[in-house]
Structure 1
C-alpha cells in the first residue's frame, strides 16, 4: 500500500541559518512520501541562498517567495499550498527528529478515531544544545498513550498551559483543519493559534502522546513571545478559550471549576490592561471587544 502524502509546512522570515537546519531535518525523515513547502516573506534572497543546494538536491521541496506580506499572510500562503493527507508545521528555527513523521503517521493509520498526534519536545538553545524542560513542556507520559480528546482538553484548560506543544510538535489530518488553523468555536486566535487548533480537534476524538523527543523547540534571542503586547493578547485569548469552551458545550462543563479559573484569569488580566493602554493601540485591539469579553467572564462568574 502506498504511503499517504505528508505536507511539511515551513513559514520563514529572515532566519537563513536556522532555516537551513530546519529544512535539512525535514528532508532527513525516514518517511519519504513528503511535500516540503517553504514560504518566505523576508524581502531578500538570503534565505533562498542558504538552502539553494538543498533545493537543487530534493524535488520534494517547493520554495515560495512572497515578500510583501505579513506574518499571518505568510502562514495562510503556505497552508493554501498543502495537498497532503497529513500536515505538520516546522517553524524555521525548530528541528524534526529523523523518525518523527513515520512514528506519527503510524498512529493515524492504525486508529481512525485519532485526530491529533503529538510528542515530547526537546528545548534547545541557539547552538542546538539541550535545555531543561520548562513548565508545560515536561514529558506527560512514559510510554505511548492514546487518550480521549475531551479529557486532555479539559486538563489543558485547567492548568492553563499548551501541553500539546507548538506547531512544530503535532501532526493532524489536513481535511479536519483545512485553512482554518487558529480557529476555535468560529473565532480566530493569533497568539494561541496552535492551541486553539488543537482544542478544536479534540472533542469526541482521541489524541496520541509519544514520550520520545520527536522535535526540538529552539529558544533564542530573536523570538518575540515575551513581548508585553503578546503576553497581554495571550491572556485575553485564554479567557476567550475558557468562555467559548463552556458556552458552546464543547468542553469544560464543570461550572464551579470554571468560575475559579475565570477569577484567576481576570485577576491576571486586569493589571495588564491598566498598565498597557499604549500596547493595546499598537496591537490594534478594539477596546469594545475587550470590554465585551470581560463582561461575559464576570457574568458567568456571578451566576
Structure 2
C-alpha cells in the first residue's frame, strides 16, 4: 500500500524573508507523497517569484494569487478547494517542519486508526535562533480543554478528509485555526497528540507587539460569533479562558536545550 497524499496548505503575504526556508523544510521530509498548495494574499514583495523558482524544480508545489488582500482564512480556503490529498496539513509561511514530521504523524494516524492529530513544537526567533522553549499540550486533548485554550499549534495539525470532509475555514482574520480545531474536536471528542516536537514556530518581532487588549478581543469574538453565545455567557467564558492562559497553559511550556 502506497503512502496517502498529504496536501499542505500555505498562505503567504510578504513572506520573502522566510518562504524559501519553509518550503525547503517540506522538501526535506522523509515522507515524500505530499503536495504544497500555496495561495498568496496579494504580496507586494518577491514572495511569488521565490515560490515560482522552487515550483519550476518541484512539481509537487502549486501556487496561485488572490485577486485582493483578504486574510489568511480566505487564502487557506482557496488552497483547501484545490487540495487533492486524503490528508490536510497546515504550515504558515514563516514556520518550519523537522524532517520526520509528516512520517511520524502519518504512522501515528494510520497505526492508531485516527482521523486527526497534532504535535508539540519548539520556538525560534525571527532570525531562526532557538528560544529554548517547547510548547506542549495535553496528550489526550478534550473538547472542554480546547474550549478554554487553543493547545493545537496550526503548524503541526493534520486531519483525514475521508473522515471529516474538507472543513471550511473562517474568513475572520484572527483565531480561524482555533475555530477549526473546535469543529474537529466537537466531532471526535478527544484528540491524541504525537508527544514530541516536530516543528519550529517562528516568533516574529511584530507579533510580540500585538496588544493584550487585541488578543482578548479576538478570543471574545470566538465565543460571541463562532459559538453564538450571549454577551454575558461570552464574558463568563472569557474569565475561564484567561484563568487557563494564566495558570494552566504555562505548565505546558517547557524550557529546553538548544536543538538547532
Conservation of the 8 A alpha-carbon contact between 1:80 and 1:179:
no
Q: What is the CA–CA distance in structure 2 between the aligned matches of 1:47 and 1:5, rounded to whole Å?
A: 26
Higher relative contact order (CA 8 A, sep 6+): 2
Q: What is the CA–CA distance in structure 2 between the aligned matches of 1:120 and 1:266, rounded to whole Å?
A: 21
TM-score of the superposition, structure 2-length normalised?
Answer: 0.78
Comparing 199-208 and 117-126, the one that deviates more:
199-208
Residue 168 of structure 1 aligns to a residue whose secondary structure is helix
Conservation of the 8 A alpha-carbon contact between 2:76 and 2:169:
no
Q: What is the CA–CA distance in structure 2 between the aligned matches of 1:19 and 1:236, rounded to whole Å?
A: 30
Computing the radius of gyration from Cα coordinates, the structure with the larger value is: 1
Residue 17 of structure 2 aligns to a residue whose secondary structure is helix
Q: Deviations over 1:3-49 (max 9, x none)?
A: 11000111100011211111111111111111111111234461122
Q: What is the CA–CA distance in structure 2 between the aligned matches of 1:210 and 1:225, rounded to whole Å?
A: 31
Indicate yes or no: 2:97 matched with 1:96.
yes
Q: How does 1:30-49 map to 2 (within 5 A)?
A: 30-44=30-44, 46-49=46-49
Counterpart for residue 194 of structure 1: 177
C-alpha deviation, 1:116, in angstroms: 1.8
Counterpart for residue 280 of structure 1: none
Indicate yes or no: 2:86 matched with 1:85.
yes
Counterpart for residue 235 of structure 1: 220
Q: What is the CA–CA distance in structure 2 between the aligned matches of 1:78 and 1:224, rounded to whole Å?
A: 28
C-alpha deviation, 1:201, in angstroms: 1.5
Counterpart for residue 150 of structure 2: 162
Q: What is the CA–CA distance in structure 2 between the aligned matches of 1:65 and 1:207, rounded to whole Å?
A: 33
Counterpart for residue 279 of structure 1: none
Count of matched residue pairs: 236
C-alpha deviation, 1:208, in angstroms: 2.0
Q: Which runs of 4+ in 1 moved over 4 A?
A: 227-230, 239-244, 258-261, 265-268
C-alpha deviation, 1:51, in angstroms: 3.4
Q: What is the CA–CA distance in structure 2 between the aligned matches of 1:127 and 1:55, rounded to whole Å?
A: 25
Indicate yes or no: 2:249 matched with 1:264.
no
Q: What is the CA–CA distance in structure 2 between the aligned matches of 1:192 and 1:98, rounded to whole Å?
A: 27
- Aligned partner of 2:203 among 206, 219, 223: 219
- CA gap of 1:225–1:35, structure 2 versus 1, over 3 A, is farther
Conservation of the 8 A alpha-carbon contact between 1:9 and 1:88:
yes
The gaps in structure 1 that reach 5 residues or longer are: 183-187, 245-257, 269-303
